[in-house]
Amino acid sequence: MKQLNVLAKQPRGRREIVRVLPCLILLLSFCAGALAQTTNTEEGTANPSFPVTHVLGLAGTLPNTPGSLTVKAGSLRFENKKQGITLLSTVSIEAIFLSQQDKQVGGVPMTLGKAAVPFGGGRVISLFSHKKYDDIALIYRDDDGGIHGAILQLPAGQGTKLRDELVSQGARVGPQWDPANGKAAPEVSDATN
Amino acid sequence: MQLISKSTVALSRRLMFLGIALSVFIAHQGNASAHNGGDREWSVQVEEVNSGDINLDPAFRVAIYENLLSELGKTNKFENIYRSGDRLAASTPDMLILKINVRKFDAGSETKRAVTTVAGATKLKVQCQLETRDGRVVSDNLVEASVRFFGSNMRVTHNLAHNIAEAIKKSTLPQPTHVSQDGQTPDELSMAQVETNR
């Protein structure tokens, strides 16, 4: 009775807050739990998508085509809005080579723009207008046993992730190239190496 | 009479022009077939690019190989073009094997080229050999390519493939002797068959 009296003495707005607050806390805790569960599920099953440029080699896709790449259900899937989807079985991949390239950004328009800058100012711009990319070279075989090569260009740092994804889906890494001396290093047994 | 004679003259003139045009066309066709027809029966199998001791990025090897297949297709020099390891190539007669050995590679730098113009060229030099199945070299060329001003380093592979295809297109190949995979000519094959029948 005393408690009721205390509540009765408080102003009406405050009483509402006191009633709603526990419900809100309860609701928030449920939401947090649900969100955490969803995230875990996505981490467990989702296939990350890589923004790539197909430099050359994938059958049915034009060279220098930008697109997105996913690796799932034992196949590498390259998707471009105009050219559609290209699939490549990861089991057919015999070697994956990872290397880094340093390229000037902006293409032809940027080159022309730099050439137009007076007093050699374009050269100064060139000093800063370059970006590093990861190049992934894949060697795979077609149904007749013929060897094919494909090159994919990714933002720096993404190459290792894509290689790991491919290896987890059955692709072979093959002997690795050592940029220091150019000799083939022993085959990598684990993609994390 | 005059009308008839005029029309006859016009007709004969037309016929004459037609005849000349036809003879020129036939001569051109004959030339073209003589130029291409001699080598047309060869097929080629392109082996993987061998970089040996040269420090060449594998991506460049892959790019040379793929660009080369594409450029060879444009030459119309060969009946069929096969990739290394293709099972269909084994049953094809008159096969040449194209071997590419890298001799020199300067990696260069696109940024250096853009900043200095004179430095940072990417250069590539290869030896390309066309061999018959029994190992006889029918064409041997040293081919170079470079990127000096504009374009990425990888562009050198496209230039090189184009130059190799041009060199092969210009080279004169011997007439195919229909050598099978086990190195026997048709005459030898038929003799062998006769002997087995006996």
> What ipTM goes with this model?
0.71
Q: How is chain A split into domains, by residue range?
A: 2-45, 49-187
pLDDT computed for residue A173 by the predictor:
87
HSE-up (13 A, CA, CB side) for residue B33: 6
Q: Distance between the two ends of chain A, CA-based, in angstroms?
A: 71
**Residue of B53, B55, B85 with shortest CB distance to A146:** B85
Q: What is the pLDDT of residue B196?
A: 43
Average pLDDT in the B104-115 region? Answer: 92
| Of B67, B85, B154, Cβ closest to residue A147 | B85
Closest C-alpha to B164, from B120, B103, B117, B95: B103
- pLDDT for residue B7: 73
Q: What angle do CA B123, B129, B134 make, to 5 degrees?
A: 160
Architecture of the domain defined by A49-187 = Roll (2.30)
**Which whole-number Å values give the CA distances from B31 to B25, B26, B39, B171, in the listed order?**
10, 9, 14, 17
Which residues lie below 8 Å from residue B4, measured CB to CB, with a gap of 6+?
A: none
Tokens 């562009």 belong to which residue?
B155
Chain A residues whose CB is inside 8 A of the B56 CB are: 182
Question: d(Cα A97, Cα A166) in Å, to the nearest integer?
Answer: 12
Which phi and psi (to 5°) does residue A104 adopt? -75, 140
CB pairs under 8 A between A and B: 93
Strand partners, A53: A66, A153
> A143-159 pLDDT, tens per residue?
999 999 999 999 999 99
* Largest Cα span, chain A: 90
Residue of A56, A62, A124, A128 best to disrupt the B interface, most CBs of B under 10 A: A56
Decide if pLDDT at A29 tops 80.
Answer: no
Q: Are the C-beta atoms of B39 and B139 separated by less than 8 Å?
A: no
**Chain B hits for A145, Cβ within 8 Å:** 85-87
Please tell me the predicted confidence (pLDDT) of residue B145.
Answer: 95
| Alpha carbon of B91: minimum distance to chain A alpha carbons (Å) | 13
